[in-house]
Each structure stands twice: as structure tokens, then as C-alpha cells.
Structure 1
Amino acid sequence: MHTSSLQQNILAELDHELAITRKVLERVPYEHADYQPHPKSMKLATLAAHIVNLLAFKTLFVQADSRDFLDQSAPKPGPTPTSSQELLERFDAYSATLRKALQESDDEKLTHSFQLTRGEQVLMDRPKAAALRIMGLNHSIHHRGQLTVYLRLLDVPVPGIYGHSADEPGGF
């Protein structure tokens, strides 16, 4: 009987989602960087950058035990990329850093707690693996879905996510 580790499962899921996310990010039309479908929505370039910057947050879940949103000395993402090339370069760099952090971790470390706070207020306290899946992967997938709606509204062909897209040959 073959059993795989928690770490191996997360890496496999991450690799799958990173490949899909990169395909979506490759289609972001920077000539519409300020586009927002609703006044409460993020701008296109801001949303794309947020998806990429979440990779650094996932790395934090693996490498640290906590993060306080009020900590002014905590690392902050760089400026919003101004081109597709900048966006994809950051995506590739952050993806590689996250994969390396996960490869250097193990099942036991992934069961340790990660706590997200705002000062004394605890916003989240979960095992690192659960934080990666819930606040990491699921959060990114949610925003990637939003981004595909922006693409559709801008008449940019949407790549297949979990199968074919209506914009691909043989799609729905």
C-alpha cells in the first residue's frame, strides 16, 4: 500500500494550482490595469498582484509560527507590478521560494500551529498545513476565480481551469 505524506500531498496540490494560476496570470491585459467591474472591486492589476503576493504569505505559514498584522517591521510585498513580465517574474520567484520552503519542511513541522493576529486579537490559529490549504490555496483559488471573471468581462480568452474553457477548441 502506497501512502504519501502531508507534505507530498500539499506539494502536489500546490504544483497543480500554480500551473493553472500562471496560465491565468499570463492573460492579464496590463493595458486595462485600472479596470474594475464594480467600485468595490479591486483594480485588475491590484487583484493580479494580490494573487502573486499571497504566495509569500503561504511561505510565511511554512517558515514562521505567527504573523501580527500590526507589526510594522514585517515584510511587505513590493509595489504592484506594472507589466505582465514583472508580474510573471514575481510569480515565478515567489512560487520557487514557496516550493523550496515546503520541500525543506516535513509532516511534523506542518502540524505545528500558525497564528495570525492583529495585536492581541487572534484572527486564526491552525496547524500550518491547514493554514496553507485554507488561507493559502483556497484564498488564492477564490481570487483566481475573480480574475477569470475580469478576463471574461474584458473579452480576454479564459484558459481552462479544471477542464476545458468555452474559449478553447472543444470547450463547453
Structure 2
Amino acid sequence: MIKQALLGEFLYEAENTRKLLQAIPDTALEYRPQPHLWSVAQLASHVTAIYAWYEGVFGVDVFDFGSFHYKREDHSQIANIIAKFEENVAKAKKAIEASDESTYFNEWVMKSGEQVFVGPMPKVQAIRGFLYNHLYHHRGELVAHLRATGNAVPGLYGPTYEQSKK
């Protein structure tokens, strides 16, 4: 039951992420509102990378980030980011589908070697916070960055202000 709810939300929100990434023009990729903040390309790449972490949360109780190998895409073009997104979303969906709901309340930890970065916490808390909410937070930053560059953003939960004025 919990797995089906998480999968349903995942599928709905992956489509929202896809719409947002598809709205990013290559001309906006280097924009950053302040020198110390991530650029649009870096944020989009990070959002894409979060989907690669699903197996490390859904599939195991200890996610050793030190042994996690991830090849980032060339983020000089949005098409490359979207291609990596599609690859990662497919793997994430499989990780949810293959997960055992009876493990969702197991203690979960993310570490590198002996250094603990996240947790311990119930796995379901890591799923909601470390994966889902973390992703939504960075999508919100992307929306703000795109608006600051004068680009249109898609409606993710209904029409945007601009769409409602038509």
C-alpha cells in the first residue's frame, strides 16, 4: 500500500520534473543569481542526480556514498541533462518497484566509509525527506532561477500566473 502511494507520487512528480527540465533553454544554463549559488545547469544536473540515489535508499539500509559511482552528464546543453534524467528516472522507478515494503521502517543511514552523513532514521523518512522533498526543494530553486532569467515556467500543480491570465 505504501509502495503504491510512493510510486504514484514518483510518477506524477517525475513528469513535473520532466516538464521543468524541458522548459530550460540552453541560454539560461549558466545563470546564477549570486556567485556562490549554483547555476541553472548545476541545479538541473543535481535534480537529475537525485534520481540516481533511489536504489541507495529504497534498496539498502546503509547507503555507502563513498562507494557510489555516478558519471555526471555534460551539462553544457539541456538535452544532455534530460537524457541523463530519463536514464536515472527509469532506474529509480525500478528501485521503487523492486523494493520490499516490509523494510520501509528499517533504520537507514547514508555514510561514506565510517562517516555518517544522514541518519540514522527510518527508511521511509529518508524516502520522503532525502529523496522526494529534497528534489522538490531544488525544483523550486530552478523555477525561481528560470523566472529571474525571464523564461516561462510550466505549471506543475495547475496553471502558472501567466497561464491563468490567458
TM-score, normalised to structure 1, is 0.87
| Aligned counterpart in structure 2 of residue 139 of structure 1, from 124, 134, 140 | 134
Q: Who is 2:88 aligned against?
A: 94
Query: 1:160 aligned to 2:155?
Result: yes
Q: How does 1:103-114 map to 2 (within 5 A)?
A: 103-114=97-108
Q: How does 1:17-36 map to 2 (within 5 A)?
A: 17-36=13-32
Asked if structure 1 preserves the Cα contact closer than 8 Å seen for 2:61 and 2:108, the reply is yes
SS of corresponding position for 2:155: coil
CA root-mean-square deviation: 1.8
Counterpart CA distance in 2 for 1:114 and 1:7 is: 17
The 1:21–1:162 alpha-carbon spacing in structure 2 relative to 1, beyond 3 Å, is: same
Query: 1:6 aligned to 2:2?
Result: yes
Q: Who is 2:62 aligned against?
A: 66
Counterpart CA distance in 2 for 1:49 and 1:110 is: 28
SS of corresponding position for 1:145: helix
Asked if structure 2 preserves the Cα contact closer than 8 Å seen for 1:111 and 1:128, the reply is yes
The 1:64–1:80 alpha-carbon spacing in structure 2 relative to 1, beyond 3 Å, is: farther
| Aligned counterpart in structure 2 of residue 127 of structure 1, from 115, 122, 128 | 122
The 1:106–1:171 alpha-carbon spacing in structure 2 relative to 1, beyond 3 Å, is: farther
Asked if structure 2 preserves the Cα contact closer than 8 Å seen for 1:66 and 1:114, the reply is yes
Matched to 2:102, the amino acid is E
TM-score, normalised to structure 2, is 0.90
The 1:11–1:171 alpha-carbon spacing in structure 2 relative to 1, beyond 3 Å, is: farther
SS of corresponding position for 2:38: coil
Q: Which runs of 5+ in 1 are unaligned?
A: none
Deviation at 1:120, TM superposition (A): 3.5
Asked if structure 2 preserves the Cα contact closer than 8 Å seen for 1:44 and 1:150, the reply is yes
Counterpart CA distance in 2 for 1:60 and 1:79 is: 20
SS of corresponding position for 1:116: strand
Counterpart CA distance in 2 for 1:7 and 1:82 is: 36
Deviation at 1:160, TM superposition (A): 0.8
Counterpart CA distance in 1 for 2:130 and 2:4 is: 19
Counterpart CA distance in 2 for 1:171 and 1:15 is: 29
Matched pairs, number: 165
Q: Which runs of 5+ in 2 are unaligned?
A: none
| Aligned counterpart in structure 1 of residue 45 of structure 2, from 37, 42, 49 | 49
Asked if structure 2 preserves the Cα contact closer than 8 Å seen for 1:164 and 1:171, the reply is no
SS of corresponding position for 1:115: strand
